Structure formats: C-alpha cells, structure tokens
Amino acid sequence: MQGLAWGEDTLKQELEELRASYESLKVDHKKLEKAHTKLEKAHFSLQQEKESMVTISKEEPRAIPTCDIGITCDIVDESFYVPIVVAPMH
C-alpha cells in the first residue's frame, strides 16, 4: 500500500505542477496577444508611411540625362548635377 500512496502523491504533485505551468502559459499567451496587436498596428503604420513616401517620390521631377555622343552630356535638372563635358575624339 505504501507504493500506491507514494505513486498517488507523486501524481498529485505532477498534476499541480502542470496546472501551474498551464496558468503561466495562459498569462504568457495574453502578453503575446497584446504584443502581436501592437506589432500589427506598427506594421500598418509603417505601410502607410511607406506608401506616402512612394507617392511623394513619384510626384518629384526626375533628372533626365540627354547626350550628344562625343561632345557633351547634360543633365536636365542641373540643381543636383554639374554638366559633364567630354572632349571630341577625332
């Protein structure tokens, strides 16, 4: 009978440990849900910011290079670039 009592005590102890572990996991799960929600909101916010940046960059004029081979190469938007002058090769 002592063997059965010892086995029963061991099983009760394991059951209590499992219950404590289960409760801890429930708390951790709630924390993860909150963190996940915050990450989803941050991701959505970053997506919107990226989309607005893409829209802005599409609206800005782009420099278009035009060249006469061997003589000059000018950049249309010269506020950012200095024209490149290449000597003719004859």
The pTM score is: 0.47
Is the pLDDT reported for residue 75 higher than 60?
A: no
65-68 and 84-85: which strand pairing? unpaired
**Predicted local confidence at residue 36, as pLDDT:** 94
Task: List pLDDT tens digits, range 21-63.
Answer: 999 999 999 999 999 999 999 999 998 888 887 766 555 566 6
Instruction: Classify residue 14 as exposed, middle or buried by CB count within 10 Å of its CB (0-12, 13-18, 19+).
Output: exposed
Is residue 75 domain-shared with residue 37, that is, in the same domain?
no
Is residue 78 domain-shared with residue 39, that is, in the same domain?
no
Is residue 26 domain-shared with residue 50, that is, in the same domain?
yes
Domain span at 82: 62-90
Is the pLDDT reported for residue 76 higher than 90?
A: no
**Predicted local confidence at residue 49, as pLDDT:** 86
